[in-house]
Amino acid sequence: MAPEHFDVLIIGAGLSGIGAGYHLQTKCPGKSFAILEGRDAIGGTWDLFRYPGVRSDSDMFTLGYSFKPWTDPKAIADGPRILNYVRETAVENGIDKKIRFRHRVKRVSWSTKEARWTVEVERMPAAGATETVAFTCNFLFSCAGYYRYEEGYTPEFAGTADFAGRIIHPQKWPDDLDYAGKRVVVIGSGATAVTLVPELARAAAHVTMLQRSPTYVVSRPAQDLLANKLRRNLPAKLAYHLIRWRNVLWGMYFFQLSRRKPADVKRLILGGVRMALGPDYDIATHFTPRYNPWDQRLCLVPDGDLFSSIRENRASVVTSEIDAFIRNGIRLKDGSELPADIIVTATGLALQVLGGVQVSVDGRDVDFSNKLTYKGMMYSDVPNLASSFGYTNASWTLKCDLTCEYVCRLINYMDRHNYRQCMPHNDDAGIEALPSIDFSSGYVKRSIAKMPKQGSKRPWRLYQNYALDIVTLRFGKVDDGVMQYS
């Protein structure tokens, strides 16, 4: 029996996968498509992460879809609200009927002769059972994210077997974990840690955030008062897009200011922390990073909840390095000990390309570490394949929405000219290969050698600039002399 065939296959039914389905359905009418989802639910990240307090680390007016206004009063939303928003979008537009759950894509192979992808899938029709099935498609669109869903990153700590309590990674938060009245140590200083600490501190005896080095932390109101006022007095879509653009422009301005005047932005951020924690708090040790603002992502805390938990002595921050886990907690390299009943390793994610799918073109495996990214979505010499990858300095969905629009433009252009294959190809020997992510974060440093590269010139350069990308992706030429059609 021949494999089931689609014009487009989307990998992943998370935030960007549902958005891709919407754009295909509205901008490429008549095209057959399906979404292959390895898990048994819509939502991706927002269905996977179940740790206490899980929330967005950017505002929902920019994290939300361009085509579906965010109407909840909270601009910094919790995970369940975001999950409901994604699922509601899927149901409203019939995208949920296009999803094949428990279909984990393992390998994809392109045939130039047939001008199609063969997609090998591990299907799990029932718990514990697996079978291998195949699909074919003309175009493959990966919306599988950038990190490994199976497990996060946890360093090797000496003495973990000696610890008498439980060790938890937030990516696999157990439903039965009771932390009420317990002493909890959260290892880490990133977005997950600053989210967990104030939430755990509501019920725990005490929570300690143990960090090797500080991160920039910025407080922001959970509700956007101007947005809520506009929504009461204007049509929902108009209010949404006004606030969306205000937030986009402010984010672009603040990022550029951070790059041009890092010392000034650093003073501004630390001044906010000092106002929140008081003049006697040791901000130099615990909240002053060794790098400039936006060399790594800033951490956002809604309504200053992290600072409130520290002021009220429900939580504390310790900046030191771990020597070993011991029976009743953690011993630090300075010889001091942190008592703990539960240790949470909020130590980051493990990055991977295209959700870890193996890719081959005409029988040759593709090494993405040797590929250049084209317009932030396709890869040099890999035909009919796009991936959705958001911004590092702004909300993920802003870039994903533009990517989906461009993919639809590309498919429609190919149809009009009877092309079966499109492939970006670099003929410019003067283009230098550069890291695709310009961050000094640990999770980036651990994986950057395996990631695709960006080029030193357009269209291989990633500008991390929404306004510029609108011009390029929404209005720029599809036949730009770099994309080869056949």
125 is a domain residue = yes
Give pLDDT, residue 149: 72
Share of the chain above pLDDT 90, in %: 73
Whether 371 and 416 map to the same domain: the answer is: yes
Share of the chain above pLDDT 70, in %: 98
335 is a domain residue = yes
CA atoms within 13 A on the CB side of 64: 27
Whether 109 and 230 map to the same domain: the answer is: no
Give pLDDT, residue 446: 65
Least confident of 78-82, 180-184, 454-458: 454-458
How many residues make up the chain in this entry?
A: 486
- Give the mean model confidence (pLDDT) for residues 53-77: 91
- Residue 454 pLDDT exceeds 80: yes
**d(C-alpha 466, C-alpha 469), whole Å:** 5
pLDDT in tens, 128-149: 778 999 999 999 999 998 777 7
pLDDT in tens, 372-393: 999 999 999 999 999 998 887 7
Q: What are the start-end ranges of the E strands in 261-384? A: 299-302, 315-319, 322-326, 329-332, 337-339, 342-345, 358-361, 364-365, 373-374, 378-379
Residue 185 domain boundaries: 160-345
Whether 193 and 310 map to the same domain: the answer is: yes
Q: Tokens representing 303? A: 């309504």
Whether 71 and 164 map to the same domain: the answer is: no
Give pLDDT, residue 18: 96
- Split at pLDDT 50, 70, 90, the class of 76 is very high
pLDDT in tens, 208-266: 999 999 999 999 999 989 989 998 899 989 999 999 999 999 999 999 999 999 999 99
Measured in degrees and rounded to the nearest 5, phi and psi for residue 84 equal -65, -40
Whether 430 and 287 map to the same domain: the answer is: no
Give pLDDT, residue 442: 62
DSSP H helix total and E strand total for the chain: 13, 25
- Give the mean model confidence (pLDDT) for residues 277-301: 92
pLDDT in tens, 313-372: 999 999 999 999 999 999 999 999 999 999 999 988 777 888 889 999 999 999 988 999
Give pLDDT, residue 443: 58
Token pair 């020597």 in the structure block, residue = 323
Whether 173 and 302 map to the same domain: the answer is: yes
Give pLDDT, residue 51: 93
Whether 246 and 291 map to the same domain: the answer is: yes
283 is a domain residue = yes
Mean pLDDT rounded to a whole number for the chain: 91
Give pLDDT, residue 174: 93
pLDDT in tens, 264-275: 999 999 999 999
pTM: 0.92
Residue 413's region, left for phi above 0, alpha for psi from -120 to 50, else beta, is alpha
- Residue 412 pLDDT exceeds 70: yes
Q: Please spell the DSSP secondary structure of 167-203, one letter per residue.
A: EE-GGG--TT---TT-EEEEE--SHHHHHHHHHHTTT
- Give the mean model confidence (pLDDT) for residues 410-435: 91
Whether 24 and 120 map to the same domain: the answer is: yes
Whether 176 and 127 map to the same domain: the answer is: no
CATH number at residue 382: 3.50.50.60
Whether 205 and 311 map to the same domain: the answer is: yes
**d(C-alpha 211, C-alpha 425), whole Å:** 44
Q: Tokens representing 190? A: 């990133």
Number of compact structural domains in the chain: 2
Task: For the chain, give percent helix, strand, coil, nearest 5.
Answer: 35, 25, 40
Single residue among 320, 345, 370 that ends a domain in this structure: 345
322 is a domain residue = yes
Give pLDDT, residue 165: 94
Give pLDDT, residue 440: 55
- Residue 447 pLDDT exceeds 80: no
- Residue 113 pLDDT exceeds 60: yes
- Split at pLDDT 50, 70, 90, the class of 284 is very high
**d(C-alpha 314, C-alpha 81), whole Å:** 27
154 is a domain residue = no
- Residue 439 pLDDT exceeds 70: no
Nearest to 223 by CA among 35, 53, 73: 73
Whether 141 and 269 map to the same domain: the answer is: no
